Amino acid sequence: MRKIINSRRKLTGLFALAFLNACSVQEYKPAPLPIYTQEDKLPAVKPFLEQKPALPDNKQALPEKPIPKLKSQSQEFNLNQAIQTALKADPVILAAFEGINQAEADLITAGLIPNPDFSAGGSLIPLDKRFTVDRQGGPPQIDVGIAMPIDWFLFGKRTAAIVSGRLGVDVASADFSNTIRLRIAGTIAAFYTVLEAQSMLELAQENQDNLTKMEQIILNRVALGGVGTIEADRIRLSIFSSHRDVHARELELTAALNQLRSLLGIVEDIPVKVKGTLEVESPVKPLTIDAAFKWAEENRPDLVSMQRQLDKAGADIALEESKAYPQVTPKVGLTRQFQQQAIGFPDANSWGAGVDISVPIFDRNQGNIAKAKSVLTQSQFNLQAQLVNLRSEIDQAVNTFASAYQILVNDDPGQLEAAKNVRDKINQAYALGGKTLIEVLDAQRVYLETYRMHISGRSNYWHSLYQLNAVIGKEILR
């Protein structure tokens, strides 16, 4: 008998230990994904959100006296500073981070244990006259009970929900990493677009200055009677065209700066400048399409997200299947019967126990199970479609970078200097009367086009290099 009692105690202890282990909520952190162009960990976003000043109350929204506005100072960014600023302040990234918080909240909900139900009530209470020994009834009684569902433990419903919730956090983390990839790629592209626009504006201003100097030479020659006034009119037309070119380049630079400002999360009217160069010291050789595709399969966070969505879809099927099991709710209660006045017997206390079990005959969660299976199939097709699109992206990015690389390495480094020398020599010869104005303008046009090709070639190299890195999902080319 003692052995039987000890074995029962052991079984009870093991059941209690398993129950408590199932009730415990463990903190879950998803495996970190590589951050595109970032070797270090992503800057802390939560502390940044916590440091944001709270919105003022309605009474304090408008100050009583106008506060003098200080003159805004310009901010200058190099490439790394621009990336770090975008990571910390870009509202799109901050909004995407909330997806992780929401998935973690769903995980907390999945791990919560159902609340017990408490019930209290009275019955057999006299309606019009009191119960007595001569007028017996009842006896009146008060019932107090408590019920606690346990099917979440018996059939693993809570465990299945936690598994699905953890995979949901993994999916949200991968989606957040993909948002970072896209925003960093956009920031880098905007940065080099600003550099290109600045170089084009400087070239347009240089062209305008050269034409203005040429105009002065022509006016001097007209005054001396060396040339006719038609050449003065012609140079004025060229200067007018250069004015329009400068204005167009200024608008392009403004648009590029505004695009960069939005990616940096700058709302205030603060002038923004960039610090960098388009020059390429040592061009990087292109990758093969197969190598780039292999790298992308391992590093693209959107692919990781879709693979995790497949895992989550499988876990959701198990979750919905567990919900098909019956609901089991044990209950226990106490009853107090007031018999003395009603039937002449002493008042009595009693207790009772029972269990409520649903019988899943008709509703066995068939619809949600079928939907979960359909989601799994849909996720498989989405992953296949993304792999097809990825191959196309890789092919385009590799070919674009290879083309930019070939243009850069095949570009004659002395071509720009030769065009500049020809322009300067023709200008000098024209001042001495040895060349015509048409030759001067033609030399200026050749120099202008050559320099523009020089700027565009280097800008295309940097744009295509970082675009290829973004498509791969990791900074392979540097």
* pLDDT exceeds cutoff 60 at 185: yes
User: Is the pTM above the cut of 0.85?
Assistant: no
Each residue of 416-428: pLDDT tens digit?
A: 777 778 777 777 7
Whole-number pLDDT of residue 135: 83
Whole-number pLDDT of residue 230: 78
Indicate the pLDDT class of residue 67, thresholds 50, 70 and 90.
Answer: very low
Q: Which residue has the higher pLDDT, 72 or 144?
A: 144
Whole-number pLDDT of residue 24: 55
Whole-number pLDDT of residue 417: 79
Average pLDDT, stretch 100-108? Answer: 94
Each residue of 30-40: pLDDT tens digit?
A: 666 655 554 44
d(CA 407, CA 310): 43
Whole-number pLDDT of residue 32: 63
* pLDDT exceeds cutoff 70 at 226: no
Whole-number pLDDT of residue 117: 96
Average pLDDT, stretch 269-282? Answer: 90
Give buried/exposed letters for 103-130 (b at 16+ CB in 10 A, else e).
bbebbeebbeeeeeeeeeeeeeeeeeee
* pLDDT exceeds cutoff 80 at 435: no
Whole-number pLDDT of residue 278: 93
* pLDDT exceeds cutoff 50 at 96: yes
Query: Could you give the C-alpha distances from 327 to 165, 297, 332, 364, in angstroms and in order?
Result: 21, 44, 17, 11
d(CA 176, CA 188): 18
d(CA 356, CA 198): 76
d(CA 471, CA 198): 27
d(CA 142, CA 211): 104
Each residue of 385-396: pLDDT tens digit?
A: 999 999 999 999
* pLDDT exceeds cutoff 70 at 366: yes
> Where are the strands (E) in 124-252, listed by range?
141-147
* pLDDT exceeds cutoff 90 at 371: yes
Whole-number pLDDT of residue 425: 78
Local structure of residue 132 (DSSP, 8 states): -
Least confident of 48-57, 158-167, 219-228: 48-57
Cβ contact 472:301 at 8 Å: no
Apex 365 CA angle, 364 and 366, nearest 5 = 90
Indicate the pLDDT class of residue 238, thresholds 50, 70 and 90.
Answer: confident
Whole-number pLDDT of residue 413: 67
Whole-number pLDDT of residue 443: 83
* pLDDT exceeds cutoff 50 at 205: yes
Residue 225, sorted as left (phi over 0), alpha (psi -120 to 50) or beta, turns out to be: left
* pLDDT exceeds cutoff 70 at 166: yes
Each residue of 319-347: pLDDT tens digit?
A: 999 999 999 999 999 999 998 888 888 99
Q: Which residue has the higher pLDDT, 276 or 218?
A: 276
Least confident of 169-178, 295-304, 310-319, 435-444: 435-444
* pLDDT exceeds cutoff 90 at 349: yes
| DSSP helix, strand, coil percent of the chain (3-state; round to 5) | 65, 10, 25
> Where are the strands (E) in 191-327, listed by range?
272-274
Local structure of residue 432 (DSSP, 8 states): T
Pairing status of strand 328-337 against strand 348-357:
antiparallel
